[in-house]
Structure 1
Amino acid sequence: MKKSYSICFVLLLAISCASSSALLKDENPTKNFVKCLNRYSADISDLVYTQESSNFTQTLLSTINNLRFAKPETPKPLVIVRPVSESQIQTVIFCSRKHDLQMRIRSGGHSFEGLSYVSPLPFVILDIINLKTFSFDAETETAWIGSGLTNGELYYRIGQKSDTLGFPSGLWANVGVGGILSGGGYGMLMRKYGLAADHVIDARLIDANGRILDRKSMGEDWFWAIRGGGGGSFGVVLSWKVKLVPVPKIITVFKVFRTIEQNLTNTFFRYQAVAPKFPKELEIKADGQCILSDASPRADKKTMIFLFEAMYLGGADQLLSVMQEQLPELGVIREDCFEVNFLQAGVYFSGFPLFTPPEILLNLTILPRPAFKSNNDYTKEPIPVEGLEGIWDLMYKLPPQKATLQFTPYGGRMDEISESALPFPYRAGTWFKFNMFAETDTDEADRIEWIRSITTYLTPYVTSNPRSSYVNYVNLWLGTNNLQGPTSYQQASKWGKRYFRNNFDRLVRIKTMVDPGNFFRHEQSIPPLSL
């Protein structure tokens, strides 16, 4: 810690002593930025990628997970830095400030709007993919986890230590832990244990001045803000100390498909009514698409199909008893159910065949990376049958399998946590989170317009005043900050209240205290109050 603070002091002294001419707009920002890096971190050169580097494009694209932002015309960073030490991150922050460059922080690269790797202004990427700490304490059932870990790496490492501990993080194996925790984070354990961020008990971050802080030194307000207030606003979180959660040795999973011709509409309406009331141990999410089927009575042979994916913390017989009592319409039978451990369930819900060796979770490139536009909403009651039929009609307007609907039930533990416990406010009374995607590999303008049309259609069925949204499914349609200069509270509230409700006000106050110069910023970062 002494070394970190001494480096911080040197960097702060350097920036405070810099002449005004050095802080003017650089004629060659890339060259001067790299020169600054090498001056203050002698061992950083092999971790720096400029646009002239032979592997720049490969490094940039490696974790761009929305290919809508991988086009040749998309703005590119001047430099990508993949540090391996805290002092190197301090240097990147210092040099970005000195040369007036925006710094985007990339963990897993899953920002739906590319905010971790795209900026309309000159920028650099601080890519924290190498921060893969995993330090497990069996006695306290806690772990320090680096922000560069992915879900898959985290689940794999927990599974190597224990078959009775888990963590309520996300589903897809290649999503970065840093981004998940920054926005709240949810997965198949949400109804039992709440959000991933609910289980963060300490953290280490670097602020805009290069200081390394933990929970005690940053204080409870700052610590509250980083657990759900969105990434890229409050500092570079290096690692998180999390409390792991108990899971049984036997977990039951199933995946079943149902189509319109199999009474999907009525079954889905019933599913909406009961899923948030299931026992906490049961989570069933549902994903829907339009497909072609010979069984469809339509002339174009289109129909709707939903995949119902379940995880139950217990044996198959117990799960079947719950299903027969509360959702017999789904028709789940014993042959649909498989008993696995928590690690194998993580493999299954990442989209791999059930008994795939868990080492697949360590492969960062195997999962598909489409180009897409999305929007998300929350509901407080079931969408009626006529509303569902209207959604199906809209789905039929796109080619088969080019749009996806995702429904995630709330309830359970989420009903027991205050909406102000963390910045994430969607707790008691929230029924479902509803997400919709359209692939934009072709006909991009038409498919983006389709997202607008289904968003408009859903207005009577979703939350209002404000119409709510999840910050980890960021959507710039809600509003943006000014590219340069201050952003007013009123302007930022247009999107901030939709993500955070009344918690937005506290986030703004904290931002004003901890980063008044707004160094950590992007199109929807929390703004400080302007004087």
Structure 2
Amino acid sequence: MFPKDTVDFTVEIGDSALPQDAPIAMAQPAKLQLLFSNGSPRCVACNLFQPRALPSLSHHPVEACELNPLRPCVQPYPALPMEQVFVLWGIGMNAVPQCNQERAGINFLKECMVRVAFGDIWWSNTLVEEGEEMEVAVDHGAMPKTGLSTDDVISFDINIRGFVEGSQILQIESSTIRETKYPDYVSTLDFSAQNLRYREPGIRMPAFILIPEDEGQLQNIVSLLLNYSLRIRVRCGGHSYEGLSYTADAPFALIDLQKLNKVSVDKKSETAWVEGGATLGEVYSAIAESSSELAFPAGICHTVGSGGHFAGGGLGFLSRKYGLSADNVLDARLINGSGEMVDRSKMDKDVFWALRGGGGGSWGAVCAWKIRLVRVPPILTAFKVFKHGTDIVTETVNRWQYVAPEMEDVIFMQVKVDFNERKVIRALFEGTYLGPKTELLNKIAQSFPELQMAAADCKEMSWIESIAYFDYNIPVSELTNRYYYKKLYFKVKSDFAKTPLPESALRGLWSRMKGGFPSVYTVFAPLGGKIGRIPSSATPFPQRAGTLFYMHYNVFWTESGEDDYFLNWMRDLYEYMERHVSHSPRAAYVNFLDLDLGTGHASVEEARVWGEKYFGAANFARLVHAKAQVDPANNFNNPQSIPPGVINYNYDVKSMQCVYLS
């Protein structure tokens, strides 16, 4: 039960996945919405007038709604100076109650008890049947004297019963919602759904979208949902490459953390508390506003959610100097699988270890992270060097493999390989140096003369300017914009290399990449430096000493229906690279989620198939133990979440292999 004074979160209520042949009016799921009107409530489906009038009011049927031929709209209500019309739409119902449920394949909520309050005075207690809308007319003259006007917030007490999905039952009792306006369900869902593959017809959508505004609300929401037969998804930036933060294969509720985005910087201690919904851009902006000499090691894309990024490790341009994001997490406030809020002092040490690189979606909902900030000079050097043509690209990338992982920690240089519009291969060598341009030019001339870096390739700027520069050169002011405008269909796979790739392998990779033209690129990013000096057991991220670099292969497309071609193409390329990269197991980076590696969270055995590829055998075993401590009932799960359990093993330090005892 929610106390009334603590529940002020926004709720969007939608339907299950819609069939492709559903009527157009059903393409936008029903939503919980309170409409105010002194005149005419409007039809949710077509924005014309409300399909049904109050019994006490006369109305005149007109032609059928364009989007909904099964329901007639009506002409405007007459002005009612003494009445205010409140319309509660939706509660998981569809805008077309006359449609054939069986043909449409829609799951409905059977009924819900709705109490409408004006201030603290309950005005109506109505049972809303399946497919109906509820309307309440309030006579101002007879209304109790509350001191409130019709513009004040209206509260709802919703008791939803009978969620129709097999034998599953959902009950939400006394969940008070105080909002006068609700964002559109679909636009809220789509705002942070970054991979369009997971917004195709047939992909299940959340029954609820809940948007907490503080940690207390988040804990209340989690505690409530843990009591019912709904999967839980927690979304920050929506950059889960396989859509795991906003999809599920069973009825689920989506907790969107977009309003938990505060960043509190303590300049004196050089630390910051970052709420779980803050994006990297919001984190960076808050740090830069505090000081031009403080920063944080993490990725470049400003709309990536910090929560998911930290949970997967977090690689970025400062990582060779300062380690991963996860290496710089000092504390966290977590709502665990029992609904309790715990910080580092109250959680099992393996749980805190697991939070910092063990992947998102397994441990609970992170309210906030305490991070260690790092020192950067007021001015650093950013650089971009292009090379074109198969031979030149092959020679310079080949040399890069030997040089970049061994450079000074203050230099980060990655390579992006793609094709120009004439289908000529090109390589972009880009990165930063924590110092002036003249020093960088001298260092590169000595260590990597093949690159032929020139002064024109380098720009001196602040750290925050470098973030914007490498993020499509957007204005610094745009870093706090949460909307990612480059939404595409895409697939990403990753590899780690412990030895340099032979030139023949590079040429073979370029040749195969042409099959994805013009929508393909591969990034090579160096490890080494501080990353390699941290033990592989310090966090779940195991790719430390002995790993030279990682690669991620990317393919994207713009039209629905092209999935099979590009997915098969990507899998063929990945298969070709197998003999040239890490093995036993072939490693992958968990922040580049890849369901092709395997799925399953019901047992340790099925999860081991993919888990050891992300974390290594020893770290995976420890993660399984951590899961048993924090969420033994496996309430927080997805196709690649850690299952609870115990793995007994011996670890051979020389071979870095686990021998399982049971």
TM class by shorter-chain length?
0.7 to 0.9
What residue number does 1:463 align with? 582
Q: Does 1:332 find its partner at 2:466?
A: no
What residue number does 1:16 align with? none
Letter in 1 for 2:629: M
Which residue of the other structure, out of 529, 552, 565, is the alignment partner of 1:412?
529
Shifted more, 310-319 versus 210-219: the winner is 210-219
Question: What's the Cα RMSD here?
Answer: 2.4
Matched residue SS, 2:420: strand
Higher strand share: 2
What residue number does 2:340 align with? 211
Please state how far the C-alpha of 1:366 moved relative to its aligned partner. 4.9
1: distance between equivalents of 2:472 and 2:508? Answer: 29
Matched residue SS, 2:591: helix
**Contact 1:150 1:174 survives alignment (8 Å):** yes
Which residue of the other structure, out of 576, 590, 595, is the alignment partner of 1:476?
595
Shifted more, 240-249 versus 213-222: the winner is 213-222
**Contact 1:40 1:91 survives alignment (8 Å):** no
Change (3 A) 1:249 1:480: same
- Unmatched 5+ residue regions in structure 2? 8-106, 114-156, 161-170, 648-662
Please state how far the C-alpha of 1:281 moved relative to its aligned partner. 0.2
**Contact 1:41 1:88 survives alignment (8 Å):** no
2: distance between equivalents of 1:149 and 1:349? Answer: 20
Q: Does 1:95 find its partner at 2:224?
A: yes
2: distance between equivalents of 1:337 and 1:150? Answer: 28
What residue number does 2:212 align with? 83
Between 1 and 2, higher relative CO (CA 8 Å, sep ≥ 6) is seen in 1
Which residue of the other structure, out of 606, 610, 627, is the alignment partner of 1:495?
610
What residue number does 2:295 align with? 166
**Contact 2:348 2:629 survives alignment (8 Å):** no
Q: How does 1:283-362 map to 2 (within 5 A)?
A: 283-293=412-422, 302-352=423-473, 356=475, 358-362=476-480
Q: How does 1:224-303 map to 2 (within 5 A)?
A: 224-260=353-389, 263-293=392-422, 302-303=423-424
What residue number does 1:64 align with? 193
**Contact 1:103 1:125 survives alignment (8 Å):** yes
Change (3 A) 1:257 1:403: same
User: Percent of pairs identical after alignment?
Assistant: 38
2: distance between equivalents of 1:34 and 1:462? Answer: 55
**Contact 2:625 2:646 survives alignment (8 Å):** no
Change (3 A) 1:29 1:448: farther
Q: How does 1:44-193 map to 2 (within 5 A)?
A: 55-193=184-322
Please state how far the C-alpha of 1:30 moved relative to its aligned partner. 9.3
**Contact 1:470 1:499 survives alignment (8 Å):** yes
Matched residue SS, 2:309: helix
What residue number does 1:449 align with? 568
What residue number does 2:508 align with? 390
Letter in 1 for 2:504: E
Shifted more, 317-326 versus 367-376: the winner is 367-376
Letter in 1 for 2:575: T
Which residue of the other structure, out of 643, 651, 659, is the alignment partner of 1:527?
643
Which residue of the other structure, out of 176, 182, 201, is the alignment partner of 1:42?
176
2: distance between equivalents of 1:471 and 1:111? Answer: 10
Matched residue SS, 2:396: helix
Please state how far the C-alpha of 1:341 moved relative to its aligned partner. 0.8
Please state how far the C-alpha of 1:40 moved relative to its aligned partner. 4.8
Letter in 2 for 1:528: P
1: distance between equivalents of 2:180 and 2:319? Answer: 41
Matched residue SS, 1:477: helix
**Contact 2:263 2:282 survives alignment (8 Å):** no
How many residues are paired up? 490
Letter in 2 for 1:390: G
What residue number does 2:324 align with? 195
TM-score by length of 1: 0.88
2: distance between equivalents of 1:84 and 1:110? Answer: 21
Please state how far the C-alpha of 1:35 moved relative to its aligned partner. 3.4
2: distance between equivalents of 1:398 and 1:208? Answer: 42
Please state how far the C-alpha of 1:29 moved relative to its aligned partner. 7.8
1: distance between equivalents of 2:502 and 2:444? Answer: 22
- Map Cα deviations across residues 380-415 of structure 1 (whole Å, 9 max, x no partner): 111111111101110112232x11101111011111
Change (3 A) 1:46 1:493: farther
**Contact 1:144 1:240 survives alignment (8 Å):** yes
1: distance between equivalents of 2:426 and 2:334? Answer: 44
2: distance between equivalents of 1:341 and 1:142? Answer: 20
Letter in 2 for 1:147: G
2: distance between equivalents of 1:368 and 1:314? Answer: 32
- Map Cα deviations across residues 184-215 of structure 1 (whole Å, 9 max, x no partner): 10110010011001111111111122211111
Change (3 A) 1:269 1:34: farther
What residue number does 1:11 align with? none
2: distance between equivalents of 1:115 and 1:66? Answer: 10
Please state how far the C-alpha of 1:251 moved relative to its aligned partner. 0.5
Please state how far the C-alpha of 1:95 moved relative to its aligned partner. 2.8
Shifted more, 155-164 versus 218-227: the winner is 218-227
Shifted more, 201-210 versus 277-286: the winner is 201-210
Q: How does 1:505-520 map to 2 (within 5 A)?
A: 505-520=621-636
Change (3 A) 1:325 1:104: same
TM-score by length of 2: 0.71
Change (3 A) 1:59 1:34: farther
2: distance between equivalents of 1:336 and 1:373? Answer: 31
2: distance between equivalents of 1:115 and 1:334? Answer: 44
1: distance between equivalents of 2:565 and 2:582? Answer: 26
Letter in 1 for 2:248: S
What residue number does 2:146 align with? none
Higher helix share: 1
Please state how far the C-alpha of 1:292 moved relative to its aligned partner. 3.4
Q: Does 1:220 find its partner at 2:337?
A: no
Shifted more, 103-112 versus 283-292: the winner is 283-292
Please state how far the C-alpha of 1:92 moved relative to its aligned partner. 2.1
2: distance between equivalents of 1:326 and 1:41? Answer: 63
**Contact 2:351 2:629 survives alignment (8 Å):** no
Q: Does 1:377 find its partner at 2:524?
A: no
1: distance between equivalents of 2:585 and 2:592? Answer: 16
